[in-house]
A and B are shown apart, each in its own frame.
Chain A
């Protein structure tokens, strides 16, 4: 028994403590911005945060807040409050939870700090536009919309010009709200740190190519927070350097995220925040490790378009061509690429009621993956924050059946 605990202790990622420290300090700073005189901007997860960092504005992420609401199992209560306000129960649960938090300072951290401005980039969905409109009316603060036309089959020259011009409009917006000139030298440094952070984050995720994988998607869901919220800071670069070193050490020592890695799986869509532990243990108990996912890698997918010597000049392309703003066939192509890269035995897809652009098209991706790779896929019907859409017994049965299929395949190929 003592030995077992020791092995379990060894598998724990040490950097977790540092991440908790950083995030706590970050939220304290954000919550006390009124006293320090710093401005606060609420921004979408796919939005351009670097200009905010360059302007000393504290970025706050309602989506990260939504994830915290989910993880602390406060989703149902807050979603119901939003429904009482007139919002349909079919709407995004991040949006419902956040909208309900605002007037009552509810949720796990007593509400987000009051924004001085809102920055909404619709590269992840049309929902954020509606959500930010609601909050812009509620807080009566200026709203900037970065409109990134959807790339069904291509990123057009028309779109490039339109978005690039909006980058200039964004800077003018920040200058106006902050009452100071934009620092074009500072953004170069921030841009360099952002790209460096993204490269390190990709390197961390890449360590999961090893067998056993030193980290799982469930770990990535947690360690993702910094690349989303504090991209473009030295702190983030330092943190991911530390995390990468730890992962490399684990690889050297053969420490896996899962005790006895038998099956390697790819996760698709947002996490089921209120059940990450349950799902993680459920898969781990059968020797299945979710070695990669399409969600956390989205924050380094734009690396291929970044030019650190012209950060602002490549910002349009980086934000328009992200994973969710592309056609289903291109998404399927990327899923297949990842499946090969991480050498997975199967794919687990979360059909997420809250996220239509991420979920509609999953059935086609599932079919394309089956045809091209011949590996099994599992579809889990749930929601990222609203637990009412989670049927434990049904999902457990489906996971068990899926593992049986994997077992059968491994048996026959052995």
Chain B
């Protein structure tokens, strides 16, 4: 599909894309980390939110700032910044998530010049009225600070329009993901991942249009050819920036029926309420969406959500894809695995860094797991 090709082109050179966008649209580019970055404010201010993943270049400069036990995601982003590959950024926004991102913010502020720096110190707990009030307060502060940094005024109507736009993206991705899960073979797992990730990089109205076109085409398709029955799996973890994983699972006879990933459903599920106060509505989505393990909303929610998802999608197994040195996910894994076991759902875990090992070990492990379930 032409639209999907365009997404792949963006992902092949995200920094080149951002540079061109900046030149052509004369818009300011604001880098973000994590699915908790409130990008609606950036859009409403007339700037472009750009999710930083890092290009996976070998870290040399970052080694003077981060020890070997730092995850490749953070190390890679810092490497690109220090090497000047992110010179197009006008600003950067750090939402509070894990200990490592928190320190990345400090190290970035002290060592990467040339762009403004904002911390959005979100609450860690999301289970009380007090925490939700604080969340709203933090968003108010962010709005004020961003206005000052960008020299723009963010009106409620601007914010509503931005919400309308990001809701179109979320809505389309949610429906595309549901279709892909329900009609295996209609869309490759890697393609869905590319759609979701490129929508964090691409000019948002362009992304919304492309996604809606893809959705229309998929809906018009009379259902996939009945191919060989594939085993349905859930992919769970943090950031998945390795599309090869999907191909390996599919080549092993599996299909990703749904995901619980930072770069997947957790980033787009749950629309922002378009009625009422827009700022409060943005806060409500963060408070109510499926949580990241660095946030707290009860002791059982993540496990219950995963089991519910696996059952609803009739998945036969769960593959945990954990980024090495990602503490919040690693802490939750034994509990999630146990909850799945109790529900009779087998799981496997693979620990990866930004580049997958090239030795075919993953392929063998996926094949074995898919054969077993």
Chain A 322-361, CB-CB to B under 8 Å as 1, else 0, gives 0000011100000000000000000000010100110111
B123-A86 in contact (CB<8A): no
Q: How far is the CA of A169 from the CA of B130 in the complex (A)?
A: 9
Q: Is the interface of B mostly helix, strand, loop or mixed?
A: helix
A130-B328 in contact (CB<8A): yes
Task: Indicate if A277 sits at the interface (CB-CB under 8 A).
Answer: no
One of A56-64, A148-156, A201-209, A306-314 contacting the partner:
A148-156
Known contacts A149-B123, A152-B106; decide if A133 and B96 are in contact (CB<8 Å): no
Known contacts A85-B334, A158-B137, A327-B106; decide if A126 and B69 are in contact (CB<8 Å): no
A130-B293 in contact (CB<8A): yes
One of B41-49, B60-68, B256-264 contacting the partner:
B60-68
A129-B296 in contact (CB<8A): yes
A91-B134 in contact (CB<8A): no
One of B97-105, B177-185, B189-197, B266-274 contacting the partner:
B97-105
Q: Which residues in A have their C-beta under 8 angstroms from that of B330? A: 87-88, 90-91
B98-A126 in contact (CB<8A): yes
Q: How far is the CB of A48 from chain B (nearest CB, A)?
A: 16
Task: Indicate if B58 sits at the interface (CB-CB under 8 A).
Answer: no
Look across to chain A and name the residue whose beta carbon is closest to the beta carbon of B105.
Answer: A152
Q: How far is the CB of A35 from chain B (nearest CB, A)?
A: 29
Look across to chain A and name the residue whose beta carbon is closest to the beta carbon of B66.
Answer: A360
Task: Indicate if A145 sits at the interface (CB-CB under 8 A).
Answer: yes
Interface residues of B in 88-122 (CB under 8 A from A): 96, 98-100, 102-107, 109-111, 119, 121
A150-B102 in contact (CB<8A): yes
Look across to chain A and name the residue whose beta carbon is closest to the beta carbon of B104.
Answer: A360
Q: Which residues in B have their C-beta under 8 angstroms from that of A131? A: 331
B125-A147 in contact (CB<8A): yes
A357-B331 in contact (CB<8A): no
A87-B334 in contact (CB<8A): yes
Known contacts A126-B124, A129-B296, A329-B106; decide if A86 and B134 are in contact (CB<8 Å): no
Task: Indicate if A134 sits at the interface (CB-CB under 8 A).
Answer: yes
Q: Which listed residue (B69, B130, B328) contacts A353, Cβ 8 A?
A: B69
B110-A328 in contact (CB<8A): yes
Q: How far is the CA of A159 from the CA of B131 in the complex (A)?
A: 10
Task: Indicate if A127 sits at the interface (CB-CB under 8 A).
Answer: yes
Task: Indicate if B325 sits at the interface (CB-CB under 8 A).
Answer: yes
Look across to chain B and name the residue whose beta carbon is closest to the beta carbon of A136.
Answer: B299
Q: How far is the CA of A381 from the CA of B107 in the complex (A)?
A: 20
Q: How far is the CB of A217 from chain B (nearest CB, A)?
A: 22
Q: Which listed residue (B128, B328, B337) contacts A126, Cβ 8 A?
A: B328
Q: Which residues in B have their C-beta under 8 angstroms from that of A88? A: 322, 330, 333, 351
Task: Indicate if B373 sits at the interface (CB-CB under 8 A).
Answer: no
B137-A327 in contact (CB<8A): no
Q: Which listed residue (A158, A327, A351) contacts B67, Cβ 8 A?
A: A351
Q: How far is the CB of B134 from chain A (nearest CB, A)?
A: 4
What number of A-B contacts does a CB cutoff of 8 Å give?
A: 144
Q: Which listed residue (B96, B137, B324, B327) contacts A92, Cβ 8 A?
A: B327
Most A CB within 10 A of own CB, among B64, B125, B141, B349: B125
Task: Indicate if A166 sits at the interface (CB-CB under 8 A).
Answer: yes
Q: Which residues in B have their C-beta under 8 angstroms from that of A360? A: 66-67, 70, 99-100, 103-104, 107
Q: Which residues in B have their C-beta under 8 angstroms from that of A85? A: 334
Task: Indicate if A137 sits at the interface (CB-CB under 8 A).
Answer: yes
Known contacts A90-B324, A133-B299, A361-B106; decide if A356 and B128 are in contact (CB<8 Å): no
B99-A357 in contact (CB<8A): yes
Known contacts A149-B96, A161-B137, A166-B130; decide if A364 and B110 are in contact (CB<8 Å): yes
Q: How far is the CB of B151 from chain A (nearest CB, A)?
A: 21
A328-B119 in contact (CB<8A): no
A143-B331 in contact (CB<8A): no
Q: Which listed residue (A126, A145, A361) contacts B327, Cβ 8 A?
A: A126
Q: How far is the CB of A370 from chain B (nearest CB, A)?
A: 12
Task: Indicate if B332 sits at the interface (CB-CB under 8 A).
Answer: yes
Known contacts A149-B121, A150-B121; decide if A130 and B102 are in contact (CB<8 Å): no
B106-A122 in contact (CB<8A): no
B119-A127 in contact (CB<8A): no
B124-A122 in contact (CB<8A): yes
Look across to chain A and name the residue whose beta carbon is closest to the beta carbon of B123.
Answer: A147
Task: Indicate if B335 sits at the interface (CB-CB under 8 A).
Answer: yes
What are 30 pairs between A and B in contact, CB < 8 Å? A88-B333, A90-B69, A91-B331, A122-B124, A126-B98, A126-B294, A130-B293, A131-B331, A133-B296, A133-B331, A134-B335, A147-B124, A149-B121, A152-B106, A153-B109, A153-B119, A156-B141, A158-B138, A158-B140, A162-B123, A162-B133, A162-B134, A165-B130, A169-B128, A328-B107, A328-B110, A356-B69, A360-B100, A360-B103, A364-B107
Which 4 pairs show the lowest CB-CB distances between chains A and B? A86-B334, A130-B331, A360-B103, A162-B134
Q: Knowing that A129-B294, A147-B124, A327-B106 touch, tell me 11 more A-B residue pairs with CB under 8 angstroms.
A: A86-B337, A90-B327, A126-B328, A133-B331, A149-B121, A153-B119, A162-B130, A328-B103, A329-B110, A360-B67, A362-B67
